[in-house]
Structure 1
Amino acid sequence: MFRKMATNPDEVGKSLKVVLENIQKAVALRPKSLPDVHPRLVAVTKTKPVSDIIAAYSHGQRHFGENYVQELCEKSNDTQLQESCAEIKWHFIGHLQRNKANKIAVLPNLYMVETVDSQKLAQTLNNVWEKHRRTGKLKVMVQVNTKGEENKSGLQAGDVEGLTRFVIDRCPCLEFAGLMTIGSYGYDPADGPNPDFLALVRQREELCQALGRSLDQVELSMGMSTDYMHSIELGSTNVRVGSTIFGARNYPQKPGSQSKGSSTEGNQSDSTSDAGASSAVATSENNSQSDSGAKNSQSSAGSNNQSESSNVSSNCDSLTGNSEVSQERTVNDIQNLSLRN
């Protein structure tokens, strides 16, 4: 399914270096009112071979993301990958059906599920994690439908607080990490701040006020290969980058069908999109598939039964504090940043 022609390991290293350098540049442009949290890079390896993952890992990358349940199952259990990448941290970033949650929650080195969008899914992940006595907690993000379209995955704005409280209060084996959105694909920052990113920024501020938490206690996962620098300037702490690092994807061609364009990153049914990319190296990615990756020094580490790092963050219930950055100030800073650019 995913054993395609491998990318040159040296090219993977060079592309990864460019992305990390651009993340640093974007961080320097963030308004000072935003939390001082270094963005995590999640390298999305959808349809890419194990050798590409090993190549990126050898250059210091630790967080990797997958959109499909079966593909993540195969890769996470690959013997060569387990031997070469003992500290890998997997993010699941695709649409997850409740009946597939039991397959995801038992995988080696699972670090985070970024697309939780219902109480039933959260409860199932919690129950499976508890049943298999996994070490620590499974980090989860609540996916938000920032466009408010009924045919898109994610929660409507009015339902976010309810699901978040459910995870915190009713799911002792889960750790609420933050909010995630796909956002509009192909949006031009020259037209101003991306409205989907602004919506997620506001959603976090409202949620933190309601929960009595500070902004740095709630992550924002937003940004793709074409807009990850822009998303970081607006406050993203988790960017999902795929084809910019590993090259364009070539999907299997069905008999009698036309080949998908090499710049296509997926379809809407996956409910996620590839993320993060430098303008110097950018390769177009589809908004419906999300990539994710991470910097080695940034993670607090997930837990696993099979040689997995177990440095899990502390209980969500112990996180307290009021947000020190008002919505008005943050949005004004972001708008001023856009005018300056």
Structure 2
Amino acid sequence: MSSREQQVDVMFGVKSVLSQIEAAVARRSKNLPQVTPRLVAVSKIKPAPLIVEAYEAGIRDFGENYVNELVEKANDPLILEKCKDIKWHFIGHLQTNKINKLLGAPKLHMIQTVHSEKLADNLNKQWPKYRSSDEKLPVMVQINTSAEEAKNGIEPSEATKVAEHVLKKCPNLDFKGLMTIGIYDYDTSKGPNPDFLTLAKCRREVCDNLNLDINDVELSMGMSTDYQHAIELGATTVRVGSAVAKRFSSHPVRRSSKGNCYDSAK
């Protein structure tokens, strides 16, 4: 497959997802914050040339699950040259010993997976070493809405406590909202996804308890199989990998033994 044919595939994939996002917005309740959803393209295991093509197709926000992979791509000469306005989102589990490596990555835009006050404190302490004192690090607090032991994140009941800690005790961090992964392959014929409803409820409680404007508190939820449903329930950020990557026919999406696409934060 030629480079030109690949580019057409990427552009078509991006346009298809953006079109479906627009349609989902139209179905969203008018009672929800009318925030235009941000598309974060999950670029895990994707090579630099495909990231450049997605960037040239209009994508600016890219998500990575692993610190080493994000840092490698953020420093890739091709990406540095071609993607001047790229924004990297970290969407995986962040270990304390990897904080400095991650914070030193060029164009790091947001960490969506703050799962404890301790992690927030460490990020707050280290961030000034890498950016100017007036530039805060955008973060989201990760909520384990599905109560699965294999997933990271705080319990929904702790949302206000941890959000308040970030807001009041971490002056170098910029609290942007809440994030969840949720259960995989939820059957929407059973009704609205309970994980998305739980995250939306957490946002209401955080806003009520801390006197925040709900329009300023984001919800990062929804992936390739359910991002449209997530938007209908109030998502302001969706993390989509395989819905775009499946267009990259020369770079098939790697799947687990259970058939789940690796396009999510695990």
- Answer whether TM exceeds 0.5 for this pair: yes
CA contact (8 A) 1:139 1:174 kept: yes
| Aligned mates of 1:167, 1:9 — CA distance in 2 | 41
The letter for the 2-side match of 1:192 is G
The letter for the 1-side match of 2:224 is S
**What is the CA distance between 1:263 and its match in structure 2?**
4.7
Among 74, 87, 90, the residue aligned to 1:89: 87
The letter for the 2-side match of 1:264 is N
Unmatched runs of 5 consecutive residues or more in structure 2? 247-251
Which residue is equivalent to 1:196?
Answer: 195
User: Does residue 115 of the first structure (1) align with residue 87 of the second (2)?
Assistant: no
Among 247, 250, 254, the residue aligned to 2:254: 250
The letter for the 2-side match of 1:122 is A
1:263–1:12 Cα change, 3 Å: farther
| Aligned mates of 2:258, 2:161 — CA distance in 1 | 40
SS of match in other structure, 1:210: helix
Which residue is equivalent to 1:63?
Answer: 61
**What is the CA distance between 1:131 and its match in structure 2?**
2.1
Give the TM-score normalised by structure 1. Answer: 0.72
**What is the CA distance between 1:106 and its match in structure 2?**
1.4
Which residue is equivalent to 2:164?
Answer: 165
**What is the CA distance between 1:239 and its match in structure 2?**
0.2
Which residue is equivalent to 1:46?
Answer: 44
Identical aligned residues as a percent: 51
Which digits, 9 at most, give the CA deviation of each residue in 1:43-68, with x for residues without a partner? 00100000111001101110000001
| Aligned mates of 1:262, 1:194 — CA distance in 2 | 21
CA contact (8 A) 2:167 2:174 kept: yes
CA contact (8 A) 1:250 1:262 kept: no
CA RMSD in angstroms comes to 1.8
Among 19, 22, 35, the residue aligned to 2:20: 22
Among 53, 78, 96, the residue aligned to 1:80: 78
| Aligned mates of 1:53, 1:22 — CA distance in 2 | 21
CA contact (8 A) 2:254 2:261 kept: no
Q: Which structure: greater helix fraction? A: 2
The letter for the 2-side match of 1:290 is A
Give the TM-score normalised by structure 2. Answer: 0.92
Which digits, 9 at most, give the CA deviation of each residue in 1:89-136, with x for residues without a partner? 000000111111111111110110000001111111111111233461
SS of match in other structure, 1:24: helix
Moved more, 123-132 or 71-80: 123-132
**What is the CA distance between 1:236 and its match in structure 2?**
0.3
Moved more, 174-183 or 145-154: 145-154
User: Does residue 145 of the first structure (1) align with residue 144 of the second (2)?
Assistant: yes
Among 257, 260, 263, the residue aligned to 1:264: 260
**What is the CA distance between 1:167 and its match in structure 2?**
0.8
Number of positions where the alignment pairs a residue of Structure 1 with one of Structure 2:
257
**What is the CA distance between 1:215 and its match in structure 2?**
1.2
Which residue is equivalent to 2:249?
Answer: none
SS of match in other structure, 1:8: helix
